[in-house]
Structure 1
Amino acid sequence: MFKTLKSLSMQRWPWLLLALTALAMELTGLYFQYALNYQPCIKCIYIRVAFAGILLAALLALLAPRNVMLRFAALSLWLGSALYGLYQAQELVNIEQILAEGGFTTCALFADFPSWLALDKWLPAVFEVTGTCGGVDWQFASLSMAGWSRVLMAAYGVSALLILLSQFSKISRNPYRG
């Protein structure tokens, strides 16, 4: 399995597929915001940043998937973004549960990006906070957007970890040898 994963990570089409899925998630978030008028909270924006990080990782690897250093950089960014997104999605699920149980909680109203990465200032249409945390306006199969984001980020994280671990396996040059 690890040899197959490593071999796939050295080809362009799996990285293109990763880029397309991350882009699809970004576009879905923008559709919910601009077409359905579901305004993103701070946690939603941070989850968008995580999807953007995965997209960036895939684009980085697309440049030269056979380059070991570039592939490791892309895998590290992919894994880090997925873990960050998983953390933010879990936080949002927790907020939703507290509010559903009648509790009270709040979250920040403004993004706290570092000055060297002021995404909310550079691309406010994508990364500006316009909503508050905890409102469950949409569900599918009994999961909110935060719940689905948690599932997706966990899947991205497990995939990235497996592919990262596969980089330490050897691929035989002779296809007839095991």
Structure 2
Amino acid sequence: MLTSLMKFVQSRWYWGLVVSVGLALEGVALFYQYILGEPPCVLCIQARFWILTGLLFGLASLWSERPLVRGSAHVGLTAALVLLVNRSRTSVLVERGEYEGQCGMDAGFPSWLALDDWLPQIFEVQTMCGYTPNFILGLTMGEGLFYAASVLLFTAVCALLLSLASALLRVR
């Protein structure tokens, strides 16, 4: 079973699943924005960025079967998910009034990666933080994203460890 899992996390199926989940998360965000009329706050935009980052690591691994690319993609995806969990956790704290900080209208992208200028339809901050819409099962969108991102992070950490174990076993 462990050998099968090691093979799976190195396969195109795994990386296809990563890309599919990333696209689904971005799709849900855009559905809420454009169909349900829920404007995104700065934390939502930053969450979208980290989802896009994970999606790009997934695409890189789909296009290349090189061990260095796939290993880097595992590390990059895990890092992106850590930051996604952080942003979604902050969103939950803000909506509960437990966050001691400010949320402005600036997405915080550097000038060399001005996604809010290049793709304002996806990355433009449109409202202040403090509210996320109702989602499913009585959760707000912020809570849903936090729980989903936490599960995805756990999965990515397991995949990273399996990938490392697979690499170590091949070296011997």
TM-score under structure 1 length normalisation: 0.87
Q: Which moved more, 1:10-19 or 1:24-33?
A: 10-19
> Which residue does 1:37 correspond to in 2?
37
1:168 aligned onto 2:164: yes
Q: Which amino acid aligns with 1:72?
A: G
1:71-113 C-alpha deviation (Å, 9 max, x unpaired): 11111111111010100000010011117xxx99741111111
Secondary structure of the equivalent of 2:106?
A: coil
Cα gap change, 1:104 to 1:112, in 2 (>3 Å)? closer
Q: Which moved more, 1:56-65 or 1:3-12?
A: 3-12
CA distance in 1, matches of 2:104, 2:8: 41
Q: Which amino acid aligns with 1:58?
A: G
CA distance in 2, matches of 1:42, 1:170: 39
* Structure 1 consecutive aligned stretches of length 4 or more whose deviation exceeds 6 Å: none
Aligned residue pair count: 169
Secondary structure of the equivalent of 1:111?
A: coil
Alpha-carbon distance, 1:153 to partner: 1.1
Cα gap change, 1:168 to 1:120, in 2 (>3 Å)? same
Larger fraction in helix: 2
Q: Which amino acid aligns with 2:42?
A: I
Q: Which amino acid aligns with 1:94?
A: L
Alpha-carbon distance, 1:169 to partner: 2.1
TM-score under structure 2 length normalisation: 0.90
Alpha-carbon distance, 1:4 to partner: 2.7
In the alignment, structure 1 segments of 5+ residues that lack a partner are 174-178
The structure with more radius of gyration: 1
The within-5 A match list for 1:1-178 is 2-65=2-65, 67-98=66-97, 106-170=102-166
In the alignment, structure 2 segments of 5+ residues that lack a partner are none
Secondary structure of the equivalent of 1:139?
A: coil
Secondary structure of the equivalent of 2:164?
A: coil
Alpha-carbon distance, 1:10 to partner: 2.2
RMSD: 2.1
Q: Please tell me whether the aligned partners of residues 98 and 105 of structure 1 are also in contact (alpha carbons under 8 angstroms).
A: no
